[in-house]
Every structure is written in structure tokens, then in C-alpha cells.
């Protein structure tokens, strides 16, 4: 039986799959993609119950979004982007207003 990755191993593997560049640039997810073009970070799902790479990048950097702002949105409108400086917590209405 295959051994499951520890949390630290999973976090390190996650960031290896992000194309980190300058802070003002998009850091695109390099692996598989789910519907609507978002990165699929399935190996983190057991830790956070989500597999969307940008949401994982936000959580690893800032912690879980507050209940009143449950979504992770992109300032850059690039669904593959995992640059924490491009991500912010918001609501569905915030997302509609940001579009």
C-alpha cells in the first residue's frame, strides 16, 4: 500500500507545481485543470476539502477565508493563477462586481 504524504510533503509538492515568477506576475498552476480552467490540486483535498489550486494557495498563505467571505477570487482574472498577491477573499457578489 502506498504511503500517504504528510502535510509538509503535500505543501512542498503543491508549490513545486506552481510556476512562481516575479511577485506582480501570475504564478500559473502547471498540472491538471478542472472545470472552468482552475488548477486541480487533488493531493491537498484531504487536508482542506477542496482541490482548486488557487484556493489552496490562498489558504496556505493567509489561512481559511472567513465565513462571510467564503470564496477566493482573482484580481488578475486568471483561473490558473496561484500568486497569493493576486488572490483575495470575497463573496459571489464581490466576484460579480469585480468582473
How confident is the model over 20-63, as pLDDT tens digits?
999 899 999 999 998 789 999 988 888 888 889 999 999 999 99
Whether the per-residue pLDDT at 1 is higher than 80: the answer is no
pLDDT digits (tens, 9 = 90+) for 55-85: 999 999 999 888 888 899 999 999 999 999 9
What letters, b where the CB count within 10 A reaches 16 and e where it falls short, cover 14-28? beebbeeeeeeebbb
The pTM of this model reads 0.88
State the CB neighbour count (10 A cutoff) for residue 68: 8
d(CA 26, CA 35) in angstroms, rounded, equals 19
Amino acid at each position: 500500500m502506498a504511503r500517504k504524504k504528510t502535510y509538509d510533503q503535500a505543501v512542498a509538492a503543491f508549490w513545486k507545481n506552481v510556476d512562481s515568477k516575479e511577485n506582480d506576475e501570475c504564478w500559473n498552476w502547471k498540472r491538471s485543470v478542472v472545470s472552468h480552467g482552475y488548477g486541480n490540486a487533488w493531493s491537498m483535498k484531504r487536508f482542506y476539502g477542496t482541490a482548486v489550486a488557487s484556493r489552496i494557495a490562498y489558504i496556505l498563505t493567509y489561512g481559511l477565508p472567513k465565513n462571510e467571505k467564503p470564496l477566493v477570487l482573482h484580481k488578475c482574472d486568471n483561473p490558473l493563477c496561484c500568486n497569493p498577491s493576486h488572490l483575495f477573499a470575497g463573496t459571489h457578489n464581490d466576484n460579480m462586481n469585480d468582473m
